[in-house]
Structure 1
Amino acid sequence: MSFSIKDYDLRNTFSIEKSLLLFAGFYPRRDTKNSSLHTFSALMHLCFAYTQLLSMIIQLIIDKNDVSKLSETLLFFMTHVTFLYKLTNFIYHRNNLLDIEDSLTLPIFYGFPFDRLGQLKSEIESCKTIGKIFRITCVVALALYGLVPYLDKGKSMTLPLPGWIPYNVRKCYYPTYMFQMISVCITAYVNSTIDILTWMLITVASAEFEILKGNLEKIDYRSNGVKEHSKIIENNFNKCVKHHKAVVNFVYKIEYTFSDGIFLQFFSSVIVICVTGFLMIIVPIPSMQFGFLAMYFLCMMCQVAMYCWYGHIVMTTSDNIGHSFYMSNWYESDITIRKNLSIFLEKTKKPVTLTAGKFITLSLTTFTRILRSSYSYFAVLQHLYDNS
C-alpha cells in the first residue's frame, strides 16, 4: 500500500515558517484578500530595518579610528546588511516559492510504500527539532542583548545597538531603546525563519533522494523472458528515473531562489564569527555582554553549519544513487533495460550540489574553510588591538 498527498502533504513541512513570513508580509499570497495589510506589514518591517542600517553606517564613520568600538559596530552592521540582502533576494524571488510549493504536489513525490513515509517524516522532524533549537538560541541571545544596558556596570543608559542618533538619547532613552529592540527582534525572527525554511526544503530533497535509493534497490530485474514481467520492470525503473529528475529540478529551484542570499551569509559569517570571538576576549567574562556574545557566537555557528550540513547531505545522498544499483540484481535484467540503466548511471555520476552564489558548494568542507578564514582574521584583529 502506498501513501499520497492526502496522507501526508509535503507542503506542511514548512507551514510554520510560511505563516511567520506571511505575517511579516514577505511570503507571496495566492489570493488578493488582505493584500493592503500584507503590503503595509512588509513596508513597516523594512522601514525599521533600513532606518537602523543608516544609523549604523554613520556610526562606522564616526568610530573609524577606534578598533574596539569599530569592531562592535561592524559586528551588528554585517549581520544587518546580510539580513537585508537575504530579505531583498527573498522578495525578488518570492514567486518562485509558489512554484516550489506546486512542485511538492506532483504525484511523483508520493505513491511509495508507507515504510518510506516513516523515513520521510523522521528526517523532516529531525530538521524541525534543529529549527526549534536554533530559534531558542536566538530568543536567548535577544533576551541577553536587551538586558545588557540594565545589568552590566558601565552600560547604564546605553543603547543595545551601536548607531548614530540625531538627538539627546538620555532625554528619549526608553522610546529609542524600544525602537532598537523592535528592530532587532524583526531582524532575528525574519532572518531565522528564512534560514529554517531553506533547511526544510533541502531536507525534503535529501529525504526524496533516500526514498529513491530504496526504490532502486528493491526493483527485481529478473524477468525470466516473460514480456509482462519485463514491462513491469521497465515501468518501475522509468518511475525512478522520473522521480530522480523531479527531485533534481526541485533542488535547482531551491538553489535559484536562495543561492545569492546564502553566499552573502557565508561571506559575512567569516567577519561576524571573527569579530564576535575578538569581542569575547576584550569583554569581562562575568558580564551580561559576554553572555550575549557567547550566545550570539553559537547562533552564527549554528546558522552556517546547518546550511553546510544539509547541503552536504543532499550531495552525499544523490552521489550514492548509482551505488543503489549494485544492491539489486541488475545483472539479471534484459539487454534493453541494461541500456537504460547505463544511461541513468551516467546521469547520476555527478552528485547534485547546492551552491552559494553559484560557485561555493554547501558542504562540511566549506564550513571548515569558513572557520579557518575566521580564525585568520581574528588573529590579525587581535594583533592590531594589542598594538593600539
Structure 2
Amino acid sequence: MPSIIQQSFRFNLKAMRFFFLYPPDKYKPLYRIHTYIMYFLLVVPIPVLECVYLFLQEDLRFTQIADSVFLLAELVCFVLKLYPFLNNSERIKRCIHYFDSAIFEVVRSEHEEILKECVKMCRRTSALFLAAVTGGFISWSSRPISWKNHVLPTDLWLPFDVKNAPKSYITYTYICIVIAGGYGAYTSAVLDPLIAGLAYQATCQIKILKNNLQFLSEHVKDEVGRSANFDQASGNTLMYDKIRKCVIHHNLILEFVKEYEYCFSQIAFNQFVAGVVVLCVSCLELTLVELLSFDFLAMVMYLIAMLSESYLYCYFGTVLYDESNTIADAIYLGKWYEYDVRCRKALILLMERAKKPMVVTCGKIVDMSLDTFAMILRRSLLAVLENYNIDLK
C-alpha cells in the first residue's frame, strides 16, 4: 500500500522527478549534473538578461520599468526558490518523507479517517493550484498578442534587434522564453502545494495525538477488556505506557517542524518578498490598462496565481499553529481524573511543553500565518497610491 506521502503527493513527486528536483536512490552524481544544467539553462538566464536590458536602456518609461520589475521579481524568486533543491536535496527529501516512518502508522479507524481527509486536502490543493498557475502561465505567454510593438512576453537583452530580426530568430527566442517561464511556473505549481501540504501533514499528526490523549481511558479499557489477566496495576502501567508514546509522538512532531523550518523557511520568505513586489506592480498596472481588456484579464489571472502561492503557506501555517495550541485542551477533555498520580504528572509535563504552539517562521523574520498574508496585502502599492501621486508617463 502506498505511504501517506505517496498518496497525498503522487503527482507532485512525479513532476519533481521530471524536473530533476527529487534525487534518486541511484546515479546521484549524474542526477546532480542534470539538475545543475537545467537550473542554469532554464532558471538563471532570463532574470540576468532582463537585468542587463534594464541597465542598458535609456529613457525608460515608468510603465516599462514596472512591467519588467513585475516579471523580474517572480523569476528571481524562482532562482532562489529552486536553489535549495540543488544544494540540500537529500535533506529535503528526508523531510518530505518524514511521516512515512513506521512509527507514524495508525491502527484505529478514527485515525485512518483523519489521514484520509489529509490526503484529500493535499490532492485538492495541488489540483486547484495547478489550475491557477496554468491560467497565469497561459495569460503571460500569450501577452505578445495584445502588446503593442512587442513580440516577446517580456523585455530582455538580446544580441539582435527584435523588431528587425528574422522570424526564425523570434520564434526560437519566444520558445526558449516560454520554456524557461514554464519551467519556473510549473515547478512552483508542484513545490508550493507540496511544501504547504507537509505542514498540513504535521497538523493531522497533531489531530491524531489529540485523539489519543483525549480518549486514553477508552483505549486502555478496550485493551484491558480483551484480556482477563489485567488488574488495576497492569491497567495503570498500560496507561502510563500510552502516555509515554504520546510524549514521543509529540517530540517527533516538534522535530519535524524544526526540520521543516530549516528546509523551507527561506523558500517561503523568498516567495513572500516576491509576492509583495508582484502585488504592488500588478495593482499599479491594473490602473493603467482598460477594464476587461486582454491585458487586464491576464494580469488578474497572474495576480491570483501569485497570491495563491503566498496564501498556501500562510493558511496551512495558521492551521498548524491553531491545532498545536489546543493539545492541552484535548488532555483536559479526557478522563484524567481517573488516572493514577504518575500518569497525571506525566500529562502535566506534556501540557506544559504544549503551551508553546508550533510556529513556522519565514526566513527567521515573520511567521508563516494569515496575519503575514494580511500584512502583504496591506503593504501593497494600493496603500501607497492613496497617499502619493506618481507620474506614470
Same fold (TM over 0.5): yes
Mapped contact 1:278–1:382 kept (Cα < 8 A)? no
CA spacing shift, 1:385–1:121, aligned 2, 3 Å: farther
Mapped contact 2:310–2:373 kept (Cα < 8 A)? yes
Q: CA deviation at 1:205?
A: 0.6
Mind listing any 5+ residue stretches in structure 1 that lack a counterpart? 1-5
Report what 2:227 is aligned to: none
- The equivalent position to 1:228 in structure 2, one of 222, 225, 234, is 234
Greater displacement, 7-16 / 158-167: 7-16
Distance 1:112 1:64 in 2: 68
Report what 1:282 is aligned to: 288
Report what 1:367 is aligned to: 373
Report what 1:50 is aligned to: 44
* Counterpart secondary structure, 1:383: coil
Mapped contact 2:197–2:316 kept (Cα < 8 A)? no
- The equivalent position to 1:109 in structure 2, one of 104, 110, 114, is 104
Q: CA deviation at 1:41?
A: 5.3
- The equivalent position to 1:149 in structure 2, one of 137, 144, 147, is 144
Q: CA deviation at 1:83?
A: 0.9
Report 1:1-388 matches (<5 A).
Answer: 6=1, 8-32=3-27, 36=30, 39-40=33-34, 42-61=36-55, 62=57, 65-101=60-96, 103-150=98-145, 152=146, 154-155=148-149, 157-169=150-162, 170-171=165-166, 172-220=169-217, 226-375=232-381, 378-379=384-385, 383-386=389-392, 388=393
Distance 2:58 2:126 in 1: 36
Greater displacement, 345-354 / 46-55: 46-55
Q: CA deviation at 1:377?
A: 5.8
Mapped contact 1:234–1:337 kept (Cα < 8 A)? yes
Distance 2:311 2:36 in 1: 29
Distance 1:312 1:101 in 2: 20
Question: Deviation digits for residues 112-159 of structure 1, max 9, x if unmatched?
Answer: 412211221112212221221111111122222222223x2625x521
Distance 2:312 2:38 in 1: 30
Greater displacement, 105-114 / 70-79: 105-114
Distance 1:41 1:91 in 2: 7
Q: CA deviation at 1:110?
A: 1.4
Report what 2:226 is aligned to: none
Greater displacement, 62-71 / 273-282: 62-71
Q: CA deviation at 1:291?
A: 1.5
Mapped contact 1:86–1:261 kept (Cα < 8 A)? yes
Number of positions where the alignment pairs a residue of Structure 1 with one of Structure 2: 379
Amino acid at match of 1:51: P
Distance 2:211 2:4 in 1: 21
Task: List, as ranges, runs of 4+ consecutive aligned residues in structure 1 with deviation greater than 6 Å.
Answer: 221-225
Distance 2:335 2:110 in 1: 22
Distance 1:244 1:336 in 2: 19
Greater displacement, 203-212 / 126-135: 126-135
Share of identical aligned residues, percent?
A: 24
CA spacing shift, 1:175–1:145, aligned 2, 3 Å: same
Distance 1:57 1:250 in 2: 39
Amino acid at match of 2:154: L
Mapped contact 2:284–2:382 kept (Cα < 8 A)? no
CA spacing shift, 1:315–1:127, aligned 2, 3 Å: same
CA spacing shift, 1:310–1:117, aligned 2, 3 Å: same
* Counterpart secondary structure, 1:277: helix
Greater displacement, 59-68 / 334-343: 59-68
CA spacing shift, 1:220–1:341, aligned 2, 3 Å: same
Amino acid at match of 1:235: D
Amino acid at match of 1:357: G
CA spacing shift, 1:290–1:378, aligned 2, 3 Å: farther
Question: Deviation digits for residues 51-94 of structure 1, max 9, x if unmatched?
Answer: 11111101222267421100000010010111100111232221
Question: Deviation digits for residues 195-214 of structure 1, max 9, x if unmatched?
Answer: 12102211111111111111
- CA-atom RMSD in angstroms: 2.3
Distance 1:7 1:161 in 2: 43
* Counterpart secondary structure, 2:390: helix
Q: CA deviation at 1:378?
A: 4.7
Normalising by structure 2, we get a TM-score of 0.90
Q: CA deviation at 1:104?
A: 2.2
Amino acid at match of 2:207: E
Q: CA deviation at 1:281?
A: 1.2
CA spacing shift, 1:7–1:70, aligned 2, 3 Å: closer
Greater displacement, 67-76 / 169-178: 169-178
